[in-house]
Structure 1
Amino acid sequence: MNVKTKLSDCLRPLMLGALFLGTAANAAVQSIDKVVAIVDNDVVMQSQLDQRVHEVQQTIAKRGGGLPPPGVLDQQVLERLIVENLQLQIGERSGIRITDEELNQAVGTIAQRNNMTVEQFRSALARDGLNYDDAREQIKREMVISRVRQRRVAERIQVSEQEVKNFLASDLGKMQLSEELHLANILIPTPESANSEAIQSAARQAMEVYQQLKQGADFGQMAVAKSGSDNALEGGDMGWRKAAQLPPPFDRELSSMAVGDITQPARTPGGFIILKLLAKRGGEAQMRDEVHVRHILVKPSPIRDEAKTKALVQSLYERILAGEDFATLAKSYSEDPGSALNGGDLNWIDPNALVPEFREVMAKTPQGQLSKPFQTQYGWHVLEVLGRRATDSTEQAREQQAMTVLRNRKYDEELQTWLRQIRDEAYVEIKLPGADQAAQ
Structure 2
Amino acid sequence: MEMVQVIFLTILVFFVIVTVHEWGHFYFAKRAGILVREFAIGFGPKLFSYTKNETRYTLRLLPIGGYVRMAGEDPEIVQIQPGQTIAVRLADEAVTYLYLDQLDSRKNVIRGEVEEIDIENELFVKLNVDGDVHRYAVHPQAMMVTKGQETQIAPKNRQFGSKTVGQRAMSIFAGPMMNFILAFVLFGVYIQMMGIPVENPTYVKVGEITAGMPASKVDLKPGDIIETVNGVSIGADSEKMIALILDSADKPMKWTVLRGDRRFEIEITPVRVEGAEGGKVGIVPELPTRTASIGETLRYSGKAMVSSTKTIFEGFRKLIFGEFKLDDLGGPVRTFEVTGKIAKQGIEKLTFWAAILSLYLGIFNLLPIPALDGSRLVFLGFEAVRGRPVDPNRESIVHFIGFAMLMLLMLAVTYNDILRLVKG
Q: From the two aligned structures, give the one with the greater strand fraction.
A: 2
Task: Give the number of the structure whose alpha-carbon radius of gyration is greater.
Answer: 1
Superposition TM-score tier, normalisation by shorter sequence: under 0.3
